[in-house]
Structure 1
């Protein structure tokens, strides 16, 4: 080949190109974004809307339904879900894969704008957002001290602006802060005495607290702008605001209300390691490096600590970059170990340091070049792209081994260095290109794979492909050039090698293989039937292996959800949290940090609840504790059973690739009440299934509420309507913001409130005085009826129909087996007419991903055959080579069964990769048999000679590939669980397939050769 000839004769040019590639690679790796997992592209949009003080039923009917109807017509929407809870509506749109989300969001905005007219007056402006996993915080920082108000000021004034200036930081949000508020506590008696209504006070405050432009006047040759200022400059100014009474008299605000400079009543509480704190959550920019952002924040913390007051402490609570860094470091370590193993195998076989250098140089060049290509394709440096490098490590040297072996053989025949390099590389370059191409084409069907499987498969496929392409270029250029310079002592090394112990061992292996090969050629039918029996036996292991979606990593993060009785106060929930803290004292050595939010939470505007608390805990690294995170979760769950008064759920969390609940049963039907009853039945039914852990319904117990029904006829007698009565009730029991007060650049609400002792009990409500427009004052109970009942917490809908989810974790069993048992249990459940269920969550994602990957596997096999048909210019020989694929099933199933790993997406990807890898040895073997036969050798002798001749390179390529993956298969280090099934699949699949290749392929070759002869002879006779 011309490329080989040029590289050998112009070594300086090759060396300069290599150096340029290395330099570019070093620059690229410094610029690559480091993250735990690849970017997950979720085509999801969210519309959040508020409607103050409205009940969930009202939110559903007045807000959620109109928005659902308006967005359902947007092209590309797969599912529309809504959640309606007190005061807020959340509508989530999931689009089909491949939809242009930017265009879809524009369509959603147009439809929402048209639907605004149907929303009730007072509803908040709908917020339309793109859901992005990168919006999750990368770091939580705790601010502790004596005074929560002072902490809030420090956070707002110093820390948040400082952190937001750090490189890569998108935003910083505060939780647990105290918000300053000017409260006007109304005096009922004074209001009635002066004939002043709260609405009059609000109007007076708003009209006074204004500044406006008054035009322009001339002064000489200048125009002076006129500005009328009237904004409040002090609290006293608010107190002295003049109010006009109905009789024309004037009073001041202080005459009818006491003005208090205080803080809003807290609706949530944050505790860090048991102490009240202000917590800062830090989000990174989408294209920023997680590790780099975290390092910038930590450096910034060291810088700003000296500027904080002495009693204020700033500490890291949770740093997700630590696990990212540990995971990346462990994969890099596995790459180095795998590389060292590969070099050792080469040295063992080649018996020459020079020859080992010739081949081993392809490894660093391929890796560095891959970094460059990953950078220009926009991929990140994560456990999957690095795992792809680790997996491709052993395969990188395959092409170089085959080329060097042939160059070596020419050298032994007496050719000089340059001739050996040119002839040896040119002769096998086409076969090497074909074998590499078969490995690469298996990744082409990725275009048919969608969703999570595609997001995971694509970066790994690119990393492997880039490394193999680079290794191939090195094999046909750099290896021949180095061989022409470094293999001058080949004959001397060969003489020494005859006394080498490993060489004698190889001779024994060759002799044993020759005997076995003769045996299988003698008993060809037995060999074929034995192979079929082995494949059938391995497939019988499938039920014992099971399946799961994605292997979970022990990231050491635990979430504890505490839920007290609906309607419980914040103080009561806090008392339960204290009991949980006491119980957690037994785990002090395992818990690094603990952060709990009481009454907080909520998603994009969905408020939390005072009866809920959520712990986020970071454990010490897995190497420093005796139990896994899952074992600790189960132990904690048992300990918390003794705490009465709350439902406590413990679960392990995944900060990187959170795929939702393993099992999610979606119940659909026309009525929410019936769905609640069905959900209880489902939980009872599936709780008996082995492996189901913490099944729970998405429906919460009803919140106790007092329903006020206005008698419109009676209200009309007093000149009142329902809206007027409702606004007065809201003002009395919730308060109303009148205006805003600005002080030193800060804005705070000025809120009208009644005294707490006038808005606490049911009798306060019944005795409440409602004022008509004429000034008449009547008790509320005169025009309204009161009824106690249970109100729903959250109402959910999917595709404009009520829906309720029952979710469950899975422990000690594989997901597929658990789902199969759950489906069996649900079949016995008598669902009411009009109600149905579907299995969602990870179980659904797993089924869809497996289906897509199975289709990709079929296309991959076809493409492999097509490439070989082009290479051999023959349809028969590729068909013979393809018989090495079925035998791979034996290795895959045996490997998963022995290691106790279920079939998962990484394992499935490994099977697809094997479709391109296992044929390489067969290509080399069949190609050499054909070469020998063309040179006049008998078929039987050609098979024996080719088998013995190709045994050494086949063993070398197989061992370098297999042993380089052993560190990954052992899951050494943090985060290695993701690549473990993939590595195990390739190790066992390639090992067993290589054995069948050396024995089965020659047998199949003879069968088809006999068949070809019969067909040819028959045609000759017919002619």
Structure 2
């Protein structure tokens, strides 16, 4: 190879180019964004449509159905999941992976706007949000003060602090939690309205008309134009109370005559606690697909500047910072890769017994990896646990080519047949084609990943590219840098001296192994069918014995040292009652020695802008020394929460998977009649809850909400000249209130909120006594044209693809997810549904099915591509099948590795299997290539097989051991976030270990059988 010859003869140029690439790689590394998972945009958009004060059934009919009809026309839509609750419609529109996110969001907004034209006038403007708005924020701050009220602290954050963080380039949104907002409350007394013949609508219109500044034009004076402005806005509460709202019998009726006007806090909709004490929180989220670490660093830098302007009595602290875990997890992968590199270097040192020769190979690792970062940066990829895990795996693979080259150079130089330069060139040329082909097989297995769909494509794309870059560079390094360094540094000792003497025992031991390998191989060649039958038996036994013991999951569970305790009380529960329950749970948690911090949000669901008085969520942080025991701690907390009366509890780990993981059990029962659905759902809940291993069971079946149903006598209303819409508006404004104008005070803007005083709305009779105004100018009590009946409404309506459903979700603990899911399916098959009712499965079971099907197809394509490469290299249709026998041999170790390291079959395990296809055939390629060379030199078939296999035994063992030991730290999953890559490491370590051992015997046996077919062909 001319490239090798040039690199040796121009060693200075080779050194300078290598140094330049390493420097550029280091420079590129500094600017690459860092995240836990690869950056991606989840193909889901959430439409939030508020309609305050309206029950789920009316929300379904007047909001959900118009939205669903419009959204269902968008191309690429996969499913619609709708939740209709008190005053809110939420629709999750899930699209195919790989969608153009920005274009799809525009289409969703357009269709939402179309549906908006069909909404009732009182419905609020719908919002289109993305999944990132619903996951835990990257960083959260807590503000407290010993002097100021929480309302004042909140106002300070709103007006002085929030926008400072919003201006940061990496920040997308901020959300203030807790505290309270102030407003001007105009609390109307119904009896005064009736006495003066007024309605809320009249007062609202009067305030809106009077409380405003108006420009009246301009006037020319003193040769200047001066604008004329009428200042009509009220400047203090007393002045607002003096406002004239009507003239009755010649007397001015002022606002204070019919209402109490006060500056006070708004009704609390949510409460935030830190370690049981009330605070005001500020949640800060990164941009869609953004860099969490960079965002958190920006926020922390800005926070230091904010501290300088904070009043002395306001304290702020960081209570959650996801970047700490991400950086720690990245550091873990780097450390594991470094440990793997050291272990690989020790293996090399054992076989070569020379620090100088080991250094030649070891240098190829940092050169290849650091140079890879140039391409990673150029393509805009990120550094994350998955891509770095690929490089950590590549540590063993990267040195494979260098090991084969230097081992062959070492062997040729021991023979000392020619001068040093030509010996190195000849030795490199001898294996150049083999290592290029074997590396190509490792690379082509990643091509099918380009055709993946679903979550697998998102997760594995960057890893595939990163490993391909590193392997491609490693071949170039092996054919240029390694020969050049060997020419300058390699030593060949005839005698065992220095460090070589220390490792001479290993050399002698391996020589004995090589000598013993030959007769064993001869035995195998003479009993070929027996050996093949034995291998087949081992393969079948591994399938039968191990597969049933393995679990299945979409993604590995990551222990971040935090878990959630989600509490849901019966629908309609008041905030103060929910708060008491949450405080009871907080008190229990803070008494546990393992708990470091609790962060509680009461009355606010994860949806931005949605409040639910019956919900609370506690994020619990475990002390570092107890993180490994988190599952036991969670089980203890779950058992305690299960003792709380009338509380649905979900206790689960906080995860960084950003919406990628779902509950293992997700059952949807569909049909038209809600009562029938709930009856079937109750039977399903009972059946699923009885399955061992099911925890955190939660269903959408809820006790109905009591409601007063008003019946309007339309004929009588028409006779009296009372408009139907005026009745609706009056009732809504009386109960819900409305912001009718804005008020400037204390340098800030506040709402003027108009509603009937709560003290005068205690009973249904108070409502019926509210005045309703006729178009003829008189007022009558509401009871004149309406009466109320007590009824019941559903607390929530769930819909899936425009059909009503009951949804049941649960987690699995202490048992195989696959076993539990199989049992769930069996139980559901026994429900015997009426016609037109159906069962579908979502969540993890659907995700596993879609991703695993895609990955299995990729695995088959990878095997075919490897066959194409080998067939091209050997110019044979038959010999690639010889080497392909390494693949089923690897499956034995794949299953054994997953079982041994306690990992489940997952997306990462499938990736490891795909990568393994490219790795395990390399040993076979080395064997068959050299055996064929010896045949061409005139050796008989059996002698060529034995001598060729024995000669290649050393490089095969070295390359396999370096890859295995390089991956061991990852297979054990050491450190924070190590669980993410454990399945990948377990698959490679187990698969390569068994395939290497069996390949040394099975591939030669199969070759001897196949050779006859080749000859006849």
TM-score (normalised: structure 2): 0.96
Q: Distance in 2 between matches of 1:804 and 1:2?
A: 70
Among 406, 430, 435, the residue aligned to 1:432? 435
In structure 1, the residue matched to 2:282 is 280
Q: How many aligned positions are there?
A: 1011
Do the aligned residues in 2 keep the contact of 1:399 with 1:432 (CA within 8 Å)? yes
Mapped pair 1:358 → 2:360: yes
The structural deviation recorded for 1:388 is 0.9
In the TM superposition, what is the alpha-carbon distance from 1:804 to its structure 2 partner?
Answer: 2.3
Partner of 1:13: 13
Unaligned runs of 5+ in 1: 1017-1023
Which residue of the partner structure matches residue 103 of structure 1? 103
Q: Quote the Cα distance in structure 2 between the aligned partners of 1:313 and 1:732.
A: 40
Q: Do structure 1's residue 545 and structure 2's residue 550 form an aligned pair?
A: yes
Structure 1 residue 531 and structure 2 residue 532: aligned? no
User: Is residue 991 of structure 2 the alignment partner of residue 989 of structure 1?
Assistant: yes
The 5-angstrom pairing of residues 600-639 of structure 1 reads 600-605=604-609, 607-621=610-624, 624-625=625-626, 628-639=629-640
Instruction: Indicate the residue corresponding to 1:316 in structure 2.
Output: 318
Residues of 2 paired with 1:854 and 1:641: CA distance?
Answer: 41
1:835 deviates by 0.9
Q: Which residue of 2 aligns with 1:877?
A: 879
For the 8 Å contact 1:815–1:843, the answer to whether it is kept is no
Which one of 698, 720, 723 corresponds to residue 722 of structure 2? 720
CA contact (8 A) 1:420 1:484 kept: no
2:867–2:881 Cα contact (<8 Å) kept? yes
CA distance in 1, matches of 2:21, 2:817: 45
* Residues 1:468 and 2:474 aligned together: no
Could you say if the C-alpha distance between residues 585 and 487 of structure 1 is closer, same or farther in structure 2, counting changes exceeding 3 Å?
closer
Contact 1:144 1:275 in 2 (8 A): no
Deviations 1:449-471 (A, max 9, x none): 11111112212222222221121
More deviation, 524-533/713-722: 713-722
Q: How many angstroms apart in 2 are the aligned matches of 1:526 and 1:876?
A: 21
Task: State the shift of 1:871 in Å.
Answer: 1.5
Asked if 1:648 corresponds to 2:649, the answer is yes
Q: How has the CA–CA distance of structure 1 residues 802 and 895 changed in structure 2, closer, same or farther, with 3 Å as cutoff?
A: same
Deviates more, 1:211-220 or 1:740-749: 211-220
CA contact (8 A) 1:318 1:593 kept: no
Does the Cα contact within 8 Å between 1:196 and 1:246 map onto a contact in 2?
no
Residues 672 and 803 in structure 2, CA contact (< 8 A), matched pair in contact too: yes
CA distance in 2, matches of 1:109, 1:584: 43
Q: Distance in 2 between matches of 1:858 and 1:269?
A: 54
- In structure 1, which of residues 801, 813, 816 is the aligned counterpart of residue 815 of structure 2? 813
Is the contact made by 1:417 and 1:488 (CA closer than 8 Å) also made in structure 2? Answer: no
Q: Is the 8 A contact 1:549 1:815 kept in 2?
A: no
| TM superposition shift of 1:617 | 1.5
Shift of 1:345: 0.9
Is 2:563 the counterpart of 1:561? no
Distance 2:189 2:1010 in 1: 102
Indicate conservation of the 8 Å contact 1:40/1:452, yes or no. no
2: CA distance, partners of 1:171 / 1:899: 41
Q: Residues 645-698 of structure 1, C-alpha deviation per residue, up to 9 Å, x if partnerless?
A: 433332223133441211101121112222222221111111222221122202
Q: Which residue of 2 aligns with 1:65?
A: 65
The answer to whether residue 528 in structure 2 is matched with residue 518 in structure 1 is: no
The equivalences for 1:310-389 within 5 A come to 310-389=312-391
Aligned partner (choices 599, 602, 607) of residue 603 of structure 2: 599
Q: Per-residue deviation at 1:29? A: 1.6
| Matches of 2:818 and 2:159, distance apart in 1 | 52
Give yes or no for contact 1:187–1:257 (8 Å, CA) kept in 2: yes
C-alpha distance after superposition, 1:288-341 (max 9, x if no partner): 432233234334444544543444332222222222122111111101100111
SS at match of 2:117: helix
Comparing 486-495 with 218-227, greater Cα deviation is found at 486-495
Post-superposition Cα deviations, 1:411-448, rounded to whole Å, max 9, x if no partner, equal 22322222122222122211111000000100100122
Instruction: After superposition, give the CA deviation of every residue in 1:49-100 in whole Å (9 maximum; x if it has no partner).
Output: 2223222111111111111111211111121222222222222221122332
Within-5 A mapping of 1:230-245: 230-245=232-247
Q: Secondary structure at the match of 2:797?
A: strand
Distance between the aligned counterparts of 1:943 and 1:701, measured in 2? 76
Distance 1:134 1:439, change over 3 A: farther
More off after superposition, 200-209 vs 949-958 = 200-209
Partner of 1:1019 in structure 2? none
Q: Aligned ranges for residues 9-408 of structure 1 at < 5 Å?
A: 9-132=9-132, 136-146=136-146, 147-166=149-168, 168-219=170-221, 222-245=224-247, 249-286=251-288, 288-305=290-307, 307-408=309-410
Once residues 729 and 122 of structure 1 are traced to their aligned partners in structure 2, the CA distance between those partners, rounded to angstroms, is 12
Q: Could you say what secondary structure the match of 1:819 adopts?
A: helix
1:824 and 2:862 are equivalent in the alignment: no
Residue 742 of structure 2 aligns with which residue? Answer: 740
CA 1:108–1:807: 2 relative to 1, 3 Å: same
Structure 1 residues 54 and 586, CA, compared in 2 at 3 Å: closer, same or farther?
Answer: same
Task: After TM superposition, give the deviation of residue 768 of structure 1 in Å.
Answer: 3.2
Tell me the equivalent position of 2:458. Answer: 455
Question: Which residue, 667, 690, 696 being the options, matches 2:669?
Answer: 667
Cα deviation, residue 747, structure 1: 2.1
The SS at the match of 2:669 is: strand
**Map of 2:579 onto structure 1:** 574
Report the CA distance shift for 1:110/1:300 in structure 2 as closer, same or farther (over 3 A): closer
**Inter-CA distance 217–151: structure 2 relative to 1 (3 Å threshold):** closer
1:767 alignment partner, one of 756, 759, 769: 769
| TM superposition shift of 1:728 | 1.8
Comparing 494-503 with 508-517, greater Cα deviation is found at 494-503
Q: Is the 1:417–1:483 Cα contact (8 Å) retained in structure 2?
A: no
**Is the 8 Å Cα contact of residues 195 and 245 (structure 1) preserved in structure 2?**
no
Distance in 2 separating the partners of 1:601 and 1:133: 12
Question: For residues 623-649 of structure 1, what are the alpha-carbon distances to aligned partners after superposition, in whole Å with 9 as ceiling and x for unaligned?
Answer: x01753222221111122333343333
SS of alignment partner, residue 691 of structure 2: coil
What TM-score, normalized by structure 1, do the two folds share?
A: 0.95
Residues 573 and 132 (structure 1), Cα distance of their counterparts in 2 relative to 1, 3 Å cut: closer
Q: Distance in 2 between matches of 1:751 and 1:1011?
A: 91
C-alpha deviation, 1:126, in angstroms: 2.8
SS at match of 2:591: helix
Instruction: Report the Cα offset of residue 491 of structure 1.
Output: 5.3
> Structure 1 CA distance, aligned partners of 2:30 and 2:250?
76
- Residue by residue, what CA displacement relative to the aligned partner does 1:102-134 show, whole Å, maximum 9, x if unpaired? 223333333334333322222222323343479
Q: What CA distance in whole angstroms lies between the structure 1 residues aligned with 2:238 and 2:973? A: 69
**RMSD (CA atoms):** 2.2
| 1:475 Cα offset (Å) | 0.5
Measure, in 2, the Cα distance between the counterparts of 1:108 and 1:773: 42
Question: Unaligned stretches of 5+ in structure 2?
Answer: none
Retained in 1: the 8 A contact 2:21–2:371?
A: yes
Change over 3 Å in CA distance of 1:895–1:135 after alignment to 2: closer
* 8 Å Cα contact 2:134/2:608 also seen in 1: no
CA deviation digits over 1:739-773, x for unaligned, max 9? 11123553211112322210122332243333333
1:124 alignment partner, SS class: coil
- The more displaced of 800-809 and 111-120 is 111-120
Aligned to 1:867: 869
Residues 546, 169 of structure 1: CA spacing in aligned structure 2 closer, same or farther, 3 A cutoff? closer
3-state SS, counterpart of residue 605 of structure 2: coil
TM-superposed CA distance for 1:775, in Å, is 4.2
Counterpart CA distance in 2 for 1:191 and 1:971 is: 72
Q: 1:923-1002, aligned counterparts within 5 Å? A: 923-1002=925-1004
Further displaced range: 22-31 or 244-253: 244-253
Residues 135 and 627 of structure 1, relative CA distance in 2, 3 Å threshold? closer
Distance in 2 (alpha carbons) for counterparts of 1:201 and 1:768: 14
Moved more, 304-313 or 470-479: 304-313
